[in-house]
Chains A and B, each alone.
Chain A
Amino acid sequence: MTDKFISIEGIARRYPAAGGGETTIFEDLWLSMNRGEFGCVIGHSGCGKTTVLNILAGLDEPSEGAVIVDGQAIEGTSLDRAVIFQSHALLPWRTVLGNVAYAVTSKWRNWDRARVRAHAQKFIDLVGLTGSEHKRPSELSGGMKQRVGIARALSITPKIMLMDEPFSALDALTRGTLQDEVRRICLETGQTAFMITHDVDEAIYLADKIFLMTNGPGAVLAEIVENPLPKDRGRIDLHRHPLYYALRNHIVDFLVSRSKTFATTVTDHDPRNVPVVRPGKPELVVASAGEDSIEASWPGLARPSTSS
């Protein structure tokens, strides 16, 4: 037994290719997270991020390898692992309360109506939708819909919350408030969360560990970035922290150049022992090709960001 709460052990996903043979999206992927941690996966489209999440959720099966959660290999979907879908996936014929209550009754089948209702209401209040319980999804804005999706996922008190780019369809302002909500809820409840995102700042704000994936097909987990920013970071003054740009530039550099060249430049990559990087703490930086810029821009030398 290890202390790892989530342990992805050597999973691969292959699809039959057009002219016979197989296309490997990713293979030999090892990844682990501790209880109460917030992990974010960043990578370009097509690297298999969503597949990793779907395998974790049990919606998809790995071609090889296994996933162990809380000491047990997962088999199919489970109420222990709640998913927040990118497109919120609310049932349009049910009200806000109905959508959350559907999840609650799925978990606790013998609860009476009043108890289900009270429990659902608690989570609707938690995401700030008090007063909208009887609205249908079509009457809600995009942000409110996603709040319902979050309430639904949280209401079953899962061990892990899985999020597949949950805020990518929202405008910047709404996205910001929802990030605050998610961070507050995860910190308050000690929720373990695993999120896929394209947004570097979102990852920096929310995640404890950021998993960087190279481009697919044949994608690998290139490195794990530990977030050096303090736990009590705020979204508003995040960019003023002396380590912020070091971290951000490291991730952006990876996305811009190293995610493409990784396969050819790094030959001794061991997928079981992925280097852990902590930008801003030189003693922990695992030196690898083309990473000098990180030390150069530290500490607190605010360099204009290149892209996002």
Chain B
Amino acid sequence: MTFSLRFRAAVVSIVLLAAFLGIWHLATRPTAAATNMSPEYAKLMGLTATQGKSAMPGPLDVGAKLWEHLRQPFYDKGPNDKGLGIQLGYSIARVGLGYLLAVMVAIPLGFLIGMSPLISKALDPFIQVLKPISPLAWMPLALYTIKDSSISAIFVIFICSVWPMLLNTAFGVASVRKEWINVARTLEVGTVRRAFTVILPAAAPTILTGMRISIGIAWLVIVAAEMLVGGTGIGYFVWNEWNNLSITNVIIAILMIGIVGMLLDQILARFTRMVTFPE
């Protein structure tokens, strides 16, 4: 009897996960406690010294803590103690805002660049210079000009997600199959109608691929940006928990960043599939 590829892959995935958790668990087992230690020193050092507990949390510690977070994702006990859900919410909202702004700028501009060789050539040097700049390098300038850390973070998201979308839109629009354009030309379709009925649908898969790359980059950058601006968000949470020396929470935050990033990517992947038609 043979199982489907999907089922077999799932089994292998689960085995790998179990192996990883097992190794992790074994590696963080308590070692023999130090015997002759002055009580004051032992008190200072905590469980790590008295019971030989590993400084690195094991999977069970992380699991227990994660459960605690998941039961109460939206609690708010002051600026340094907010639920994981609230922190992620702040980050997603910032990414969403900056990303939407980028979509609103990049897609029309990309269309223009793709349709006009003149504008394409004229803007090319600017794009080439601006594109490789790390988005975080804009941060001081943003903080100075905008004078608001939260909006600065949104600006940084905007500037990092605009390039892949811009370039992909321009490329997608410029490389629409000549025949489809010719079909529109022989049917005397006007420029605006042609843009919406032929070029947009033809370039949509490429544009959405750019949007998918952008959302990935935006989610990478938000963590770093929030570490810098502080206050709220999952990036701030990671840094705050590092200052608290709560490695458990740092691990949980890393896991959450991964899961949210995956979800964002999957949403865009689904949209891409919706607009992609085989020939």
A48 at the interface (CB under 8 A from B): no
Chain A neighbourhood of B183, CB < 8 A: 83, 85, 89, 91
Q: A75-95 interface mask toward B, CB cutoff 8 Å, 1 = contact, 0 = none? A: 001110111010101011100
Q: A81-122 interface mask toward B, CB cutoff 8 Å, 1 = contact, 0 = none? A: 111010101011100000000110011000000000000000
- Chain B interface residue count, CB cutoff 8 Å, equals 18
- Closest Cβ of chain B to A144, distance in Å, is 13
Cα(A58)–Cα(B184), bound, Å = 12
B198 at the interface (CB under 8 A from A): yes
With A91-B201, A93-B201, A102-B187: A83-B279 Cβ-Cβ less than 8 Å: no
Cα(A156)–Cα(B187), bound, Å = 9
Within 8 A of A (CB), among B178-220: 179-180, 182-183, 185-189, 197-198, 201-202
A136 at the interface (CB under 8 A from B): yes
With A83-B182, A87-B179, A89-B180: A103-B277 Cβ-Cβ less than 8 Å: no
Cα(A56)–Cα(B188), bound, Å = 15
Q: Is the CB of B187 within 8 A of A107?
A: yes
Cα(A103)–Cα(B186), bound, Å = 9
Cα(A65)–Cα(B277), bound, Å = 42
Chain B neighbourhood of A85, CB < 8 A: 179, 182-183
Q: B203-240 interface mask toward A, CB cutoff 8 Å, 1 = contact, 0 = none? A: 00000000000000000000000000000000000000
Cα(A89)–Cα(B279), bound, Å = 10
Cα(A215)–Cα(B202), bound, Å = 37
Which one, B182, B197, B278, contacts A92 given CB within 8 A?
B278
- Closest Cβ of chain A to B22, distance in Å, is 47
Cα(A87)–Cα(B183), bound, Å = 11
- Closest Cβ of chain A to B94, distance in Å, is 34
Q: Is the CB of A106 within 8 A of B185?
A: no
With A89-B180, A102-B197: A79-B185 Cβ-Cβ less than 8 Å: no
- Chain A interface residue count, CB cutoff 8 Å, equals 23
A185 at the interface (CB under 8 A from B): no
Chain A neighbourhood of B182, CB < 8 A: 59, 83, 85, 89
Chain B neighbourhood of A92, CB < 8 A: 277-279
Q: Is the CB of B186 within 8 A of A59?
A: yes
Cα(A27)–Cα(B180), bound, Å = 29
A138 at the interface (CB under 8 A from B): yes
With A87-B179, A91-B180: A138-B186 Cβ-Cβ less than 8 Å: no
Closest B residue to A158 using CB positions: B186
Which one, B189, B197, B198, B279, contacts A137 given CB within 8 A?
B279
Q: Is the CB of A138 within 8 A of B187?
A: no
Chain B neighbourhood of A87, CB < 8 A: 179
- Closest Cβ of chain A to B200, distance in Å, is 10
Closest B residue to A145 using CB positions: B279
Closest B residue to A82 using CB positions: B186
Chain B neighbourhood of A77, CB < 8 A: 185-188
Cα(A82)–Cα(B275), bound, Å = 28
Chain A neighbourhood of B278, CB < 8 A: 92, 138
Q: B33-47 interface mask toward A, CB cutoff 8 Å, 1 = contact, 0 = none? A: 000000000000000
Q: B252-279 interface mask toward A, CB cutoff 8 Å, 1 = contact, 0 = none? A: 0000000000000000000000010111
- Closest Cβ of chain A to B256, distance in Å, is 37
Cα(A79)–Cα(B186), bound, Å = 6
Cα(A138)–Cα(B279), bound, Å = 5
Within 8 A of B (CB), among A123-143: 136-138
- Closest Cβ of chain A to B24, distance in Å, is 47
- Closest Cβ of chain A to B275, distance in Å, is 8
Cα(A81)–Cα(B186), bound, Å = 7
Q: Is the CB of A79 within 8 A of B188?
A: yes
User: What are 11 pairs between A and B in contact, CB < 8 Å?
Assistant: A77-B186, A83-B183, A85-B182, A87-B179, A89-B177, A89-B179, A92-B277, A102-B187, A102-B197, A106-B188, A107-B187
Using a CB–CB cutoff of 8 Å, the interface residues on chain A facing chain B are 57-59, 77-79, 81-83, 85, 87, 89, 91-93, 102-103, 106-107, 136-138, 156
